[in-house]
């Protein structure tokens, strides 16, 4: 698939925002983070900004962004519609939790419950985003059991390094926050490797023979191309990425999204309360976000639609 930057930015930014929201609400309920209203600004502020900017970016690739609201009416059959509804509903408990914490210093009782409701909404929203791609049977690299865990794990890992950076910048980092951040990054790395292993070792059930229904007559091959030049479907659905480039990009993802963030997150607590500790945690955020952007671009670029079988591809 030809990657659209708006979708790449959307899934990266909103995932990080929802991950940060989820972990902040959970950590607040358990008492693992400062209860100061300023800390709410340092965590829920960036989380909200990432979520809103990501959702806005998701409309840029639409032919008529002004009609995006109509997608909410198709919730019975569309994961895109369910995603939109989940995102809107999540803002309600988020607003209650955020305002009560930032302006009135209220973090427990019903306000903590509102935070947990926002955390649940964050999980549901990321899940529905992943299901938009997981539900597409025509794209083998998306229609598999590792897509949803991959989206959830990346949201958790980027959100975790953001929360860890906020704690380091605050000057009173909790050890449990650093441990959770390191574990979240390691888990995301494991899930991503399992996803890559699955798409590399699992053969597609779709071939020119199954697509045309002529398999009983023997091998089907394309005699003449249907067009003198590439059309829209070939450009968008049959985007080609050389294997050598794919391997280089995967290596970059392993280092940028997982390796460096894990190393910086593990090292930062040694210099807790210092400028160096805050700088290391910030570097973890920069590499995690940058690596996730590459990962998300690769997620789209490596995908191939079944329609390419009608243009000469041997499998989809």
* DSSP one-letter string for 11-76: HHHHHHHHHHHHHHHHHHHHT-S---HHHHHHHHHHHHHHHHHHHHHTTTTSS-GGGGGGGGGGTT
pLDDT value of position 216: 73
pLDDT value of position 204: 73
> Which position has the higher pLDDT, 174 or 21?
21
Mean pLDDT to the nearest integer, 285-299: 96
Residue 10: its H or E element: helix 5-30
Question: Is pLDDT at 112 greater than 90 in this prediction?
Answer: yes
Contact between 90 and 118 under an 8 Å Cβ cutoff? The reply is yes
- DSSP letters of 278-295? HHHHHHHHHHHHHHHHHH
Question: Is pLDDT at 65 greater than 70 in this prediction?
Answer: no
**pLDDT band with cut points at 50, 70 and 90 for residue 273:** confident
pLDDT value of position 239: 67
Mean pLDDT to the nearest integer, 179-188: 97
Contact between 49 and 62 under an 8 Å Cβ cutoff? The reply is no
CA dist 272 and 270 (Å) reads: 6
pLDDT value of position 46: 97
Question: Is pLDDT at 254 greater than 90 in this prediction?
Answer: yes
pLDDT mean across residues, the chain: 88
Q: Rounded to whole angstroms, what are the CA distances from 142 to 94, 199, 302? A: 31, 9, 10
pLDDT value of position 193: 97
pLDDT value of position 199: 92
Give phi and psi for 64, each to the nearest 5: -135, 85
pLDDT value of position 45: 97
pLDDT value of position 244: 76
Question: Is pLDDT at 315 greater than 80 in this prediction?
Answer: no
Question: Is pLDDT at 41 greater than 80 in this prediction?
Answer: yes
> Which position has the higher pLDDT, 203 or 56?
56
**pLDDT band with cut points at 50, 70 and 90 for residue 94:** very high
Q: And the tokens for 193? A: 């490797």
pLDDT value of position 225: 67
Contact between 31 and 177 under an 8 Å Cβ cutoff? The reply is no
Q: What is the percent of the chain where pLDDT is above 70? A: 85
| CATH numbers and ranges of domains, the chain | 5-311 (1.20.1630)
Torsion angle in degrees (nearest 10) through CA of 31, 34, 40, 43: -90
pLDDT value of position 314: 63
pLDDT value of position 279: 94
Q: Give CA 307 to chain center in angstroms.
A: 26
């Amino acid at each position: 698939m030809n990657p659209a930057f708006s979708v790449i930015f959307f899934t990266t930014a909103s995932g990080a925002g929802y991950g940060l929201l989820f972990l902040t609400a959970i950590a607040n309920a358990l008492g693992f983070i400062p209860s100061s209203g300023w800390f709410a600004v340092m965590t829920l502020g960036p989380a909200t900004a990432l979520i809103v900017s990501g959702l806005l970016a998701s409309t840029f690739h639409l032919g008529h962004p002004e009609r995006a609201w109509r997608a909410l009416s198709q919730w019975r059959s569309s994961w895109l519609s369910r995603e939109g509804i989940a995102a809107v509903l999540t803002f309600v408990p988020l607003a209650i939790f955020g305002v009560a914490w930032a302006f009135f210093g209220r973090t427990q009782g019903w306000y903590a419950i509102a935070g947990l409701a926002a955390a649940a909404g964050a999980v549901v929203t990321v899940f529905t985003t992943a299901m938009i791609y997981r539900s597409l049977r025509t794209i083998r690299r998306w229609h598999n059991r590792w897509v949803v865990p991959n989206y959830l794990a990346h949201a958790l890992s980027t959100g975790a390094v953001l929360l860890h950076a906020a704690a380091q910048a605050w000057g009173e980092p909790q050890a449990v926050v650093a441990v959770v951040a390191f574990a979240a990054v390691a888990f995301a790395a494991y899930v991503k490797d399992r996803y890559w292993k699955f798409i590399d070792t699992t053969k597609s059930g779709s071939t020119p023979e199954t697509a045309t229904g002529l398999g009983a007559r023997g091998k089907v091959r394309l005699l003449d191309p249907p067009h003198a030049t590439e059309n829209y479907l070939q450009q968008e659905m049959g985007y080609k990425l050389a294997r050598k480039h794919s391997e280089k990009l995967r290596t970059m993802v392993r280092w940028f999204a997982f390796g460096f963030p894990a190393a910086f997150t593990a090292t930062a607590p040694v210099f807790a309360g210092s400028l160096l500790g805050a700088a290391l945690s910030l570097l973890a955020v920069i590499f995690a976000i940058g690596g996730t952007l590459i990962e998300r671009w690769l997620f789209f670029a490596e995908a191939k639609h079944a329609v390419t079988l009608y243009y000469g591809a041997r499998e989809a």
